[in-house]
Chain A
Amino acid sequence: MSERYDVAVIGAGPAGLAAAIYAARARLRTLVLDESIPGGQVKTTHKVSNYPGFPEDVKGADLAAAFAAQAERFGAKIRRSVEITKHDLAATPKTLELDEEETVEARAVIVATGAKPRPLGVPGEDLFKGRGISYCATCDGAYFEDKDIHVIGGGNSAVEESLFLTQFARSVTVVHQFMELQAEPASVQEALANPKIHFLLGHEPRGFQGEAALERLEVEELATKERKQLRTDGVFVFIGMIPRTDLLRPYLPLAQGGYVETTDAMETKVPGLYAAGDIRVKRFRQITTAVADGTIAALAAQKYLH
């Protein structure tokens, strides 16, 4: 006999946990599933400065834990490190097989699977992943104590994680394709004032080389097409995210880039199936907007179930 829920939320990031808080408070039997621990991208963000309610910066890991604790307080059940190995999200009720071992049923499903780091797609990247190339500064920053490292990207993540990495590294060189950084001016100013951070603007990575571990980053100066070999101890890549929407592929046509179209109530074309957070087609992807999506999805699911 499979366990039955009113709402299953897939993904325990800000969108999923906000949905769980609202669903659980509406006294819906709520299950949250995540392949990792709760928090989504927030849990590996070293600090969050723009989430309302925290006049001082909050550590991403603490904010993630607080979201999860709040959802659990109202009775949402959060299953950590669980993999969905089969699913039927078009059926009534919808079914999910977990870790090839058990099946759960839910009358409504909110998919909030978020996004993962976009790889650069240049030669050597797969080979040196974990051997010098990283996508998570909080996880791997400590490996680079007193080292000379590079950060690829010029948005908020790239600039803010560069600042974090200066705690460990001897130098951090930010390599960015454009001549200007796209990050918020507050972070850019802080980075410009940091003596450990250097900038290589108008350059793009072209390849990674080394023996057992990464030793050189090859870049191209876009204006002159000149290629340069940079000695490096490590490269952190922050060039945006790609949505995790493979789960939805059998049920819905996906929009460009793999994102999901929804109504403004977070409904997909499948009854009882909602999408929230970074997987949606939308213009801005922030913690605040993810939380808003999750809220709306849970309220819409509540109406659908009654």
Chain B
Amino acid sequence: MSSTYVKEIGAAEFEQEVLAAAEPVVLDFFSTECPPCEALAPKFDAVAEQFAGKARFLKVFRQGNRELATRLGVTGSPTLLFFKAGREVAARMTGEDIKRTALKAAVEGMLT
């Protein structure tokens, strides 16, 4: 489900929404029955709000987009990928221990 600052996309929109985006993109692969995904969601929303207009925050539901996950080599939820000008530009973040401050720092890194 999309929220005010985070848009949910499907594999068909990956090319346009992520690779061709003018702004840096943070993409969150999430699953259901995934407590760490539930824990990340409010942090992701908060950081998305902070960087509104500067970076795009998207999420993609893994179970509905298996092929895209396989293509990107994503095998865990949540996984955050950082794209700029169509390329991954920062280390992925994955699992239970994604801190809001670390996510914020990574986005700041993409904006410089």
Q: Give chain A's interface residues, CB within 8 Å of chain B.
A: 35-37, 39, 43-44, 61, 64, 80-81, 83, 85, 99-100, 116, 129-136, 138-140, 142-144, 212-214, 234
Residues of B within 8 A of A83 (CB): 43, 99-101
Assess whether B38 is interfacial by the CB under 8 Å rule: yes
B101–A85 touching, CB < 8 Å: yes
Interface centre among A81, A142, A212, A214, by most chain B C-beta atoms within 10 angstroms, is A81
Given contacts A130-B92, A136-B95, 5 further A-B contacts (CB under 8 A): A36-B36, A130-B76, A130-B95, A133-B75, A138-B33
Residues of A within 8 A of B74 (CB): 130-131
In the complex, residue of chain A having the shortest beta-carbon distance to the beta carbon of B96 = A36
Q: Tell me the minimal C-beta distance from A82 to chain B in angstroms.
A: 9
Whether A136 contacts B62 in the complex (CB less than 8 A), given A83-B100, A130-B79, comes out as: no
B40–A81 touching, CB < 8 Å: yes
In the complex, residue of chain B having the shortest beta-carbon distance to the beta carbon of A132 = B75
Q: How far is the CA of A143 from the CA of B100 in the complex (A)?
A: 25
B76–A139 touching, CB < 8 Å: yes
Residues of B within 8 A of A134 (CB): 75-76, 95
Assess whether B64 is interfacial by the CB under 8 Å rule: no
Assess whether B69 is interfacial by the CB under 8 Å rule: yes
A143–B97 touching, CB < 8 Å: no
Assess whether B85 is interfacial by the CB under 8 Å rule: no
Q: How far is the CA of A129 from the CA of B79 in the complex (A)?
A: 10
Q: Give chain B's interface residues, CB within 8 Å of chain A.
A: 31, 33-43, 46, 62-63, 69, 73-77, 79, 92, 94-97, 99-101
Residues of B within 8 A of A43 (CB): 35
In the complex, residue of chain A having the shortest beta-carbon distance to the beta carbon of B100 = A83
Residues of B within 8 A of A131 (CB): 73-76, 92
Q: How far is the CA of A64 from the CA of B38 in the complex (A)?
A: 14
Q: Tell me the minimal C-beta distance from A46 to chain B in angstroms.
A: 10
A37–B79 touching, CB < 8 Å: no
Residues of A within 8 A of B46 (CB): 99
A139–B31 touching, CB < 8 Å: yes
Q: Tell me the minimal C-beta distance from A47 to chain B in angstroms.
A: 13
B75–A35 touching, CB < 8 Å: no
Residues of B within 8 A of A99 (CB): 46, 100
Residues of B within 8 A of A81 (CB): 39-43, 100
In the complex, residue of chain A having the shortest beta-carbon distance to the beta carbon of B38 = A37
Residues of B within 8 A of A133 (CB): 75
